[in-house]
Structure 1
Amino acid sequence: MMKKIQRFGGAMMAPVLLFAFTGIVVGIASLFTNPQVMGSIANEGTNWYKFWFVISEGGWTVFRQMPLLFAIGLPISLANKTNARACLEAFALYTTYNYFVAAMLAQWSFFGVDMSQEAGGTSGLAVIAGVKTLDTNLFGAIIISAIVVYLHNKYFDKKLPDFLGVFQGTVFVYIIGFLVMIPCAFITALCWPKVQIGINNLQQLLKVSGPIGVWIYTFLERALIPTGLHHFVYTPFIFGPAAVPGGIQTYWVQHISQFAQSTKPLKEMFPQGGFALHGNSKIFGSVGIALAMYSTAKPENKKKVAGLLLPVLLTAIVSGITEPLEFTFLFIAPVLFGLHAVLAATMSTLMYMFGVVGNFGGGFLDFMFLNWIPMFKNHSGTVITQIVIGLIFTCIYFILFRFLILKMDLKTPGREDEDEEMKLYTKADYKAKHGEDGAQGAAAIAGGDEYAQKGAIILEALGGRENIEEL
């Protein structure tokens, strides 16, 4: 079950990766259309403004079609066969589902939803793939996509009589899914308006949860990385409606010009931005960790350690991808990872208490183009405060990690015994160490599964799993 949950969490990364580039595009466009930064050239109506408005609209594609992208993107990783067909089925059935919901709400008033309202705002409605329907956000997209993947894996290869052969494969999955979407749409129309009330209450609760809520959120987001469950912590906040309608990522980009041009404190305008500070540990924490590993390496190994750490450190800082660095000390000494989670949560909480909020879930590029550059003119104090606190925690990370590495004689890179290989570890290494990889296949073979036995023989004949490039 845990492996399935991890796979599901990993599948959500396919659409998430699109936000890194488009977020920067929208941030740059917002900066270049801000008259306070660019002067009169950025006034509405100028050719400069028109050009960047066009660029901005292109960048908004991913944000405006977020549920659709998640619905299409999940089958890429979750479908067991013909993934491209599964993506087509997901698109067709997700749009069918939304048409069903819209039609039911329009025809029957007992659902209590006024379809004459404009989509967006507090209406509880949204336009998805051109359909004005109930705003189920990512939850609806993920659930429907998961149902489609299940139907695809079970029925795609179903053999039909020859005279019905034209309905095999994708068409058969769609036929079954079409029927399944009817009760799904009815349940959604009946229950989701009440769920929206609950989500609104949750948003109000989070507004008053203050530093405690920020600490718990950030701690769980880091601490659950080894299990893959951290996706289920940050996704409802960053891309879903847990904190604000549409998710923090979209909300921040939508209001970035408003925040940048206002002189009110950012925390006063956007207190929910405390739930997107977890990226600070990826920059400030990673630097302290890497320096601690380098300083504790044996003198003769320092050059090699620098060569190993510098690329992964730059990756962590620039893009926010910290796995190569984090899984190295998670593999060697889990106590360091526990300390990392505590320090990351404490750093974010302290920043929040000093008024730092925003969209800081990624790496340095997100920090610069979506936060620091647009906000610096009117919120330079907040930016400087964040950097100062971050650098202080870089020192804290360095001191504590260095102390524990030396005190516990941890074999971080450069401190290995002479007969051990110097390397950085990956998530696959961590899973292998804890017996996660291969357990399922071994159990199937031991249980006499004919196909598993044949598969093991074929795999061995092909040189093992590491010799397979594409399946």
Structure 2
Amino acid sequence: MPLIFAVSLPIGLAKQAQGRACLAVLVSFLTWNYFINAMGMTWGNYFGVDFTQDAVAGSGLTMMAGIKTLDTSIIGAIIISGIVTALHNRLFDKKLPIFLGIFQGTSYVVIIAFLVMIPCAWLTLLGWPKVQMGIESLQAFLRSAGALGVWIYTFLERILIPTGLHHFIYGPFIFGPAAVEGGIQMYWAQHLQEFSQSTESLKSLFPEGGFALHGNSKIFGAIGISLAMYFTAAPENRVKVAGLLIPATLTAVLVGITEPLEFTFLFISPLLFAVHAVLAASMSTVMYLFGVVGNMGGGLIDQVLPQNWIPMFSNHADMMLTQIAVGLCFAVLYFVVFRTLILHFNLCTPGREDAEVKLYSKAEYKAARGKTMAAEPDAKLGQAAGILQALGGVTNISSINNCATRLRIALHDMTQTLDDEVFKKLGAHGVFRSGDAIQVIIGLHVSQLREQLDSLISSHQSPENIPVTEAV
């Protein structure tokens, strides 16, 4: 799993030549682990690490592609991948003297990364054993804290979503050793048959499964939130609001991608998002207290049904009924709380704006920009052209990256961008600005949109000559 995390990170973070960046990360990550092995075998006593022992659970060691190394899990993979990707972005295009031209590009990146991995390995051996002790202490605290630990974990996992730091909360638990050796995902899969055939309660068999209940807010919470926004919208706007909410809700419920829905209200009222985090944590905690555990960090079709309900139904149907009952109760609670807050504070959720809820037409967008649309050379690039114009044009963009649902763009001048409302009319679910960096929440098709933007930028095709596609 750490190797997969390391190699996949440049796909979203590398500014160009993502494939070559992945290769550079792979070579550098293995080099880093090899240096750790060599230094640990030579100076293990100095670092307080016994590299002569077997790499078994509890030893603090692991085997990575046949190399005995420190078990840094996905945290080490993310850090090293980030360092090498940053080197790639900075050095890939660097011009070298003609006699060194053979080393230009990826070779140069790997050479520099090779040298950087030496101090990285030294610092890892110096500091990671202390981090491992901290992880063990965290494990002990969360296990002993019981329901309180579940609440804290789930609350942090939700509340940190706007910053992107939530990956560092759930990652060590789901894919790393923070709760169980190997991570909840792997442990649950390895013991799935054993758990499904046992008549003992799942909570007694796998109490650590309480740290993988955060997906329930994506299923039951999303339903309550959407209904609250629908019924607080103006009656004449509800059909259009439903057209916005239904796809976002289905995405959250079925596959666990909540950003399109959450960012619908996050930028309108952070208070609603904070309440959402509290309710999500409370839902997971109540379920845990009633004996619900499992691997439920995603949606219905990707995790809850295939990994929990279907295999566990024969001997643990009562737990599933409890989960559904608690979830439905919280869906109602979500609806009541969100509806009350929206009405009390008169929040401008979809359908409650002063302006009519409508699609953003080409004529309106043209008026907002004060520019004239020309012929339609490529209708596929319509939304990309609109986003590009809203960002201030090709010359205002320094770099473009994306994650699962967001465009992450570095700009030369933030003042050249248009208002957030323009982005929303073009189909964005929200916009987050910080300095000269901007994140545009698009949804699950963000990778295709990013490719279209790259195509426009690389070909220097003027976005003003492409029709802007309205949000649908």
Taking structure 2 as the reference length, the TM-score comes to 0.74
| 3-state SS of paired residue (2:333) | helix
Q: 2:337 aligns with which of 400, 403, 418?
A: 400
Match of 1:209 in 2: 145
Q: Which amino acid aligns with 1:336?
A: L
Report how far residue 301 of structure 1 moved. Answer: 3.2
Equivalenced residues, count: 388
Q: Distance in 1 between matches of 2:324 and 2:82?
A: 41
Q: After the TM superposition, which residues 382-397 of structure 1 pair with which residues of structure 2 at under 5 Å, given as runs?
A: 382-397=319-334
Following superposition, which runs of at least 4 residues in structure 1 exceed 6 angstroms of deviation?
Answer: 430-435, 457-461, 464-469
Q: Distance in 2 between matches of 1:289 and 1:209?
A: 30
Deviates most, 171-180 or 429-438: 429-438
Q: Distance in 2 between matches of 1:400 and 1:322?
A: 19
Q: Distance in 1 between matches of 2:21 and 2:61?
A: 27
Residue 133 (1) aligns with residue 129 (2): no
Q: Distance in 2 between matches of 1:205 and 1:432?
A: 44
| 3-state SS of paired residue (2:191) | helix
Match of 1:238 in 2: 174
Report how far residue 216 of structure 1 moved. Answer: 1.9
Q: After the TM superposition, which residues 66-465 of structure 1 pair with which residues of structure 2 at under 5 Å, given as runs?
A: 66-110=1-45, 111-365=47-301, 366-417=303-354, 419-421=356-358, 429=420, 436-437=432-433, 439-440=435-436, 462-463=462-463
Mapped contact 2:143–2:149 kept (Cα < 8 A):
no
Mapped contact 1:217–1:275 kept (Cα < 8 A):
yes
Mapped contact 2:207–2:293 kept (Cα < 8 A):
yes
Report how far residue 67 of structure 1 moved. Answer: 0.7
Shift in alpha-carbon separation, 1:458–1:158, aligned structure 2, 3 A: closer
Q: Distance in 2 between matches of 1:317 and 1:142?
A: 28
Mapped contact 1:137–1:240 kept (Cα < 8 A):
yes
Taking structure 1 as the reference length, the TM-score comes to 0.74
Report how far residue 344 of structure 1 moved. Answer: 0.9
Q: Distance in 2 between matches of 1:269 and 1:431?
A: 52
Match of 2:453 in 1: none
Shift in alpha-carbon separation, 1:322–1:85, aligned structure 2, 3 A: same
Mapped contact 1:459–1:465 kept (Cα < 8 A):
no
Mapped contact 1:266–1:356 kept (Cα < 8 A):
yes
Q: Distance in 2 between matches of 1:133 and 1:143?
A: 16
| 3-state SS of paired residue (1:126) | strand
CA distances 1:307-350 after superposition (whole Å, capped 9, x unpaired): 33222211111001112221112233333222211111111111
Shift in alpha-carbon separation, 1:271–1:467, aligned structure 2, 3 A: farther
Q: Which amino acid aligns with 1:261?
A: Q
Q: Distance in 1 between matches of 2:432 and 2:145?
A: 37
Shift in alpha-carbon separation, 1:91–1:381, aligned structure 2, 3 A: same
Report how far residue 458 of structure 1 moved. Answer: 11
Report how far residue 411 of structure 1 moved. Answer: 3.2
Q: Which amino acid aligns with 2:33?
A: N
CA distances 1:336-388 after superposition (whole Å, capped 9, x unpaired): 22221111111111111112111111001211111122222222222211111
Q: Which amino acid aligns with 1:381?
A: D
Mapped contact 1:218–1:344 kept (Cα < 8 A):
yes
Shift in alpha-carbon separation, 1:98–1:336, aligned structure 2, 3 A: same
Q: Distance in 2 between matches of 1:333 and 1:359?
A: 31
Report how far residue 155 of structure 1 moved. Answer: 2.5
| 3-state SS of paired residue (2:463) | coil
Shift in alpha-carbon separation, 1:280–1:441, aligned structure 2, 3 A: closer
Mapped contact 1:137–1:241 kept (Cα < 8 A):
yes
Q: Distance in 2 between matches of 1:436 and 1:409?
A: 22
Question: What are structure 1's unaligned runs of at least 5 residues?
Answer: 1-65, 443-456
| 3-state SS of paired residue (1:332) | coil
Q: Distance in 2 between matches of 1:394 and 1:340?
A: 11
Q: Which amino acid aligns with 2:233?
A: A
Deviates most, 349-358 or 130-139: 130-139
Report how far residue 394 of structure 1 moved. Answer: 0.9
Specify which structure has the higher proportion of strand.
2
Q: Which amino acid aligns with 1:462?
A: S
Report how far residue 258 of structure 1 moved. Answer: 2.3
Shift in alpha-carbon separation, 1:115–1:258, aligned structure 2, 3 A: farther
Q: Distance in 2 between matches of 1:237 and 1:464?
A: 47
Structure number with greater CO (CA < 8 Å, separation at least 6) is 1
Q: Distance in 2 between matches of 1:391 and 1:408?
A: 26
Mapped contact 2:44–2:51 kept (Cα < 8 A):
no
| 3-state SS of paired residue (1:204) | helix
Report how far residue 164 of structure 1 moved. Answer: 2.0
Question: What are structure 2's unaligned runs of at least 5 residues?
Answer: 361-404, 408-419, 425-429, 439-456
Mapped contact 1:259–1:266 kept (Cα < 8 A):
yes
Q: Distance in 2 between matches of 1:461 and 1:421?
A: 29
Specify which structure has the higher proportion of helix.
1
Mapped contact 1:282–1:320 kept (Cα < 8 A):
yes
Shift in alpha-carbon separation, 1:466–1:231, aligned structure 2, 3 A: farther
Q: Distance in 2 between matches of 1:346 and 1:226?
A: 20
| 3-state SS of paired residue (2:69) | strand
Mapped contact 2:287–2:326 kept (Cα < 8 A):
yes
Q: Distance in 1 between matches of 2:107 and 2:459?
A: 33
Q: Distance in 1 between matches of 2:231 and 2:468?
A: 39
Match of 2:383 in 1: none
Q: Distance in 1 between matches of 2:162 and 2:327?
A: 24
Q: Distance in 2 between matches of 1:317 and 1:176?
A: 45
Q: Distance in 1 between matches of 2:300 and 2:230?
A: 22
CA distances 1:90-138 after superposition (whole Å, capped 9, x unpaired): 0011111112222333344424544454433222222222323221111
Q: Distance in 1 between matches of 2:406 and 2:64?
A: 36
| 3-state SS of paired residue (1:132) | strand
| 3-state SS of paired residue (2:68) | strand
Report how far residue 143 of structure 1 moved. Answer: 1.6
Q: Which amino acid aligns with 2:235?
A: P
